[in-house]
Amino acid sequence: MIKFDTYVLNNGNKIPAVGLGTWDPANPRGAFLATRCALEAGYRHLDCASLYGNEELVGQAIFEFLQSHPDVARDDLFVTTKVWNHLHDAKDIEWSLNESLRKLGLDYVDLYLLHYPIATEKDGQYQEKKGQNGKYVVNKALTEHSEPTWQAMEALVQEGKTKAIGVSNWSINRLERLLSFANITPAVNQIEIHPFFPNNRLVAFCLGHGILPQAYSPLGSQVRVSRPCGLVLESKELQLIAKNSGLQLSQLLLAWGLKRGYAVLPKSFTPKRIEENLHPPTLTDENFNAVQRIAAKHCTRLVDISNEYDYDNFWDDQSD
């Protein structure tokens, strides 16, 4: 097992350093099998979201695992879920969490995140509203003044429906504004981090303000890549470092992230890879610095949905 297998959040609760990402739009059913496999392998950290459309399957896997393993309690698991952009109104924040809890079959989650800082309008079917240009309509007032949204998140902690709250995809600028009025500091900022997008400034800001960064797509996105840099896992330079260190490339990348001081959320529905991802080694300084040198040459966001939204300020600062 890795040397530092948990982090302590700013509310005092522990979070496993490696979690299972459960998003797979092409294979929602796979989330059940992957979750069961991961729990059997020893994972105790699951990353979910209402957007993923598979919370019921993840919940079924959790239920069956706990039923067949009486030595493992619900409190031994760390379950995260997220609210989507069109549900940032105060009443919708609670409704969304209640729906997630119902689907997951849980009384509480360990962490509840705002999936993006962008608030959007709802249509008549309670879905994200699109404008005539085919892009989602942004609620600019609520996006730029998120106090009511965060206050609703804080209320859910008081109600015991979540143990911690946090954000995802928030920039330094937006975090600074949030911290200026928040009664509860976000425990986590879940962001894209990998050697092609090291996100140095944002990682440093979060760590300096008691906010744990969590890396989604820590192996590089395999879905939304339309950049000339290509896939992280196809990098010849990174493959050579992994080969010379006797590691799988995925293990090298996860170990690099852990050595930088944040949690990692690899996604795999392959049993062998699920097991490998749970046990990244402690990286030597030589191998860490080798990956760092590659990361220093890159700053390419691979997961970018900004063109789907009618809002010029989707990403409001530069990352590196």
Strands 78-83 and 111-114: parallel
Marked catalytic residue, from 52, 116, 262, 309:
52
* Residues contacting 249, CB < 8 A, separation 6+: 219, 233, 238, 239, 242
Say what angle helices 172-181 and 200-208 make with each other, to 10 degrees. Answer: 20
Our answer to whether residue 311 is catalytic in this structure is no
Contact assessment for residue 192 and residue 202, using Cβ atoms and an 8 Å cutoff: no
Which amino acid would we find at residue 37? C
Angstrom distances, CA of residue 94 to CA of 81, 91, 101, 124, 140: 13, 6, 10, 19, 21
Three-state DSSP at 112 gives: strand
Three-state DSSP at 215 gives: strand
| Residues with catalytic roles | 52
